[in-house]
Amino acid sequence: MKGFKIIVLAKQVPDTRNVGKDAMKANGTVNRAALPAVFNPEDLKALEQALRVKDNHPGSTVTILTMGPGRAAEIIREGLYRGADDGILITDRKFAGSDTLATSYAISLAIKKMAPYDIIFGGRQAIDGDTAQVGPQAAEKIGIPQITYCEEVISISKKNVRIKRRLERGVETVESPLPVLVTVHGSAPDCRSRNGKLLMKYKHAETVTEMQDNTDDYLALHDTRPYLNIQEWTVDDLNADEAWLGLSGSPTKVKKVTNVVFTAKESKVMGDKDEEIEELIKELLENHTIG
Amino acid sequence: MNNIFVYCEIEEGAVVDVSLELLTKGRKLADELKCELEAVVIGNEIKDIEKVIFPYGVDTLFLAQEDRLYPYLTLPHASIMTKLIKEEKPQIALFGATSIGRDIAPRIASALKCGLTADCTSLEIGEHVDKKQKQDYQNLLYQIRPAFGGNIIATIINPETRPQMATVREGVMKKEIFAPNYAGKVRKLEFSKYVDETDFVVKIIERHIEKKKIDIKHSHIIVSGGYGVGSKENFAMLFELADVLGGEVGGSRAAVDAGYIPHERQVGQTGITVRPHLYIACGISGAVQHRAGMEESAMIISINKDPNAPINNIADYAIIGDVGEVIPKMIKYYKKNAK
């Protein structure tokens, strides 16, 4: 048995978990520059699930697929340091303004281009949007089943995969034929750390764009070590219909954004004296707030 | 045609709360838009299900009943919904932002090439003027949701595609009977017309659904504590107050992180969203993430030593004082004055 061909969907996201004071601009928009860019946490967990399948089935390969600006190649390197075999970055200005529908269209074209494959893992959702939509939407566009909220891959064979799912009020074990798209829940195990040897091996892995921008010349290195080339695909490589990309391919529009600020309303400030507390309790009893 | 669809989730023979909340909201939206409210129930046969659904003001109940349709499976449910939406052309389709709703809605939106907004906390009807295209849109669904880790509130619209699809978080909308004897009609869907055998490729091997033990969400009164409560022992006072008032105890993330109370009681962005009649915030400063989970409470009382705590700005009553002194007084005077 020669193992499985595994794709991991990953996204580089601004770290919304630790938002500081300067994260929001005065006009209420997000100051992305003030937030560090990270490997989306649940996508890292998806990578771990993929690596576990690879551990148990020698000959398997793990390819990271991400979409974003040029710097998103950082998370492909991060994945390589942890055990992924290669990565593909889909990047093009024409993707700008994509909502989940347009994003899933582009991702689904890339996945189709990567065929044949056995299983696709991705995080349940990304912390910058929390929508949990791109996975199921991509599965629908490719025409394969989806298994959401995976906590553990119980078993996998060339025929099918058994997965334990985490639901809000319980767990479920399901079995699906391959290929299937699996989204991984936050309760799944954390991803392994970087491996020192892999870090050395892939330190200079770069996309063509990065190589052009880089002052150091690793071109010769890339010729002798082809695994250092991170593939970059644009709209042309995907044969995409541009009408379904970017703003024109995105049915949802943001009408308004409000920075969350405290809206002061009439509030009664009072002390903690006995009379005051008793007065309040009486009032609450009177208007049936408490019974 | 052009009505409002609500996908109703079934768990162990009953319609789940979030679906009933959506029917309540759907009725109001339907009145505003002068259209009808339609519910879709997909599952095994449930006796008298219409008697549960119609009182929420449902005009038509679409029923797809077959043993294999329960428990929920993505492909057959999505297939039925997609085909039914194509036939009926609703202008709005609503789903719970639950394990099931967030699994099925994107699948349908993708098949229909429609816009979908996840995890809405509020829905309104409004207009939109597109100055560039010189287009004026009336009666759009404003889909309002926290975004970017809860740091912003975004209003999303789908001007062009129909239906306008949204998932809505559990507990953020009220559940209210519209008319006990409301007369709706049932339309049974012929299973074989909507589902293909190939939709059953994924099989459920095992399933364990736990009954929720602690029920903060449905409590009318919540006594909630933050880091300022100070210790696990001090939380006992909160439990006592909740007990005499007939409420439940919740906590902020800081209190959970400090180990004062378990995660299942956490109120806020990453916890439970609540809208009780009365929310008593004890030693809670009022971070954005916490506020997102409780600001819809009908009445908020804050107890905080710090007069400048942000929670005081949204509180109806801000008691400036020590939690350890105020709570015993509240218990005392409640017992004295309650009949």
B191-230 per-position pLDDT tens digit: 999 999 999 999 999 999 876 567 788 788 899 999 999 9
* pLDDT of A27 above 60: no
Q: A276 lies in a domain?
A: no
* Chain A residues within 8 A of B210 when measuring between CB atoms: 169-170
pLDDT in tens, B108-133: 999 999 999 999 988 999 999 988 88
Which residue, among A87, A91, A62, has the nearest Cα to A191 in the 3D structure?
Answer: A62
Q: A98 lies in a domain?
A: yes
Q: Which residues contact B88 (CB under 8 A, 6 or more apart)?
A: B1, B3, B5, B38
DSSP A262: -
Q: Are B7 and B40 in contact (CB under 8 A)?
A: yes
Report the residue of chain B nearest A264, measured CA to CA.
B313
CA-atom Rg of chain A in angstroms = 24
Q: Work out the minimum CA distance from A69 to partner chain B, whole angstroms.
A: 19
CA-CA distances (angstroms) from residue A190 to A11, A45, A164, B51?
16, 5, 16, 47
Which residue, among B277, B276, B237, B235, has the nearest Cα to B252 in the 3D structure?
Answer: B235
* pLDDT of A189 above 60: yes
pLDDT, mean of residues B282-302:
92
Q: A227 lies in a domain?
A: yes
Return d(Cα B339, Cα A288) in angstroms, integer: 12
Q: Which residues contact A277 (CB under 8 A, 6 or more apart)?
A: B319, B326, B329, B330, B333
pLDDT, mean of residues A14-38:
71
Among A171-175, A282-286, B171-175, the range scoring the smallest mean pLDDT is: B171-175
Q: A220 lies in a domain?
A: yes
Q: Work out the minimum CA distance from B245 to partner chain A, whole angstroms.
A: 7
Return d(Cα A113, Cα A117) in angstroms, integer: 10
DSSP A58-114: TT-EEEEEEESSGGGHHHHHHHHHHT--EEEEE--GGGTT--HHHHHHHHHHHHHHT
pLDDT, mean of residues A150-157:
98
pLDDT, mean of residues A7-33:
75
Q: Residue B157 and residue A290: Cβ atoms within 8 Å?
A: no
Q: Residue B204 and residue A172: Cβ atoms within 8 Å?
A: yes
DSSP B203-238: EEEEEEEPPPS---TT-SEEEEE-GGG-STTTHHHH
pLDDT, mean of residues A267-288:
88
pLDDT in tens, B247-263: 899 999 999 988 899 98
Return d(Cα B214, Cα B266) in angstroms, integer: 11
- Mutation target to probe the B interface, by most B beta carbons within 10 A, among A260, A278, A283 is A260
DSSP A19: -
Q: Residue A174 and residue B202: Cβ atoms within 8 Å?
A: yes
Which residue, among A22, A95, A72, has the nearest Cα to A209 in the 3D structure?
Answer: A72
* pLDDT of A1 above 60: no
The fraction of chain A above a pLDDT of 90, given in percent, is 74
Return d(Cα A22, Cα B265) in angstroms, integer: 31
Q: Work out the minimum CA distance from A246 to partner chain B, whole angstroms.
A: 13
pLDDT at B156: 96
Nearest-by-Cβ selection for B161 from A129, A148, A251: A251
CATH number at residue A185: 3.40.50.620
pLDDT at A264: 39
- Counted domains in chain A: 1
pLDDT in tens, A39-87: 999 999 999 999 999 999 999 999 999 999 999 999 999 999 999 999 9
pLDDT at A261: 44
pLDDT at B77: 98
Return d(Cα B163, Cα B157) in angstroms, integer: 11
Domain hosting A129: range is 5-244
Q: State in words which class domain B221-337 has.
A: alpha beta
Q: Work out the minimum CA distance from A270 to partner chain B, whole angstroms.
A: 5
CA-atom Rg of chain B in angstroms = 22
Q: Are the folds of B4-200 and B221-337 the same? A: yes
Q: Residue B118 and residue A133: Cβ atoms within 8 Å?
A: yes
Identify the band that residue A263 occupies on the pLDDT scale cut at 50, 70 and 90: very low
Q: A277 lies in a domain?
A: no
pLDDT, mean of residues A125-142:
95
| Domain residue extents for chain B | 4-200, 221-337
Count CB pairs under 8 A between chains A and B.
240
pTM: 0.81
pLDDT at B216: 86
Residues listed for chain B: 339
The fraction of chain B above a pLDDT of 70, given in percent, is 98
pLDDT in tens, B4-57: 999 999 998 999 989 999 999 999 999 999 999 999 999 999 999 999 999 999
pLDDT in tens, B305-333: 999 999 998 999 999 999 999 999 999 99
Residues listed for chain A: 291
Q: A38 lies in a domain?
A: yes
SS3 assignment, position B288: helix
Q: State in words which class domain B4-200 has.
A: alpha beta
Residue A169 identity: R
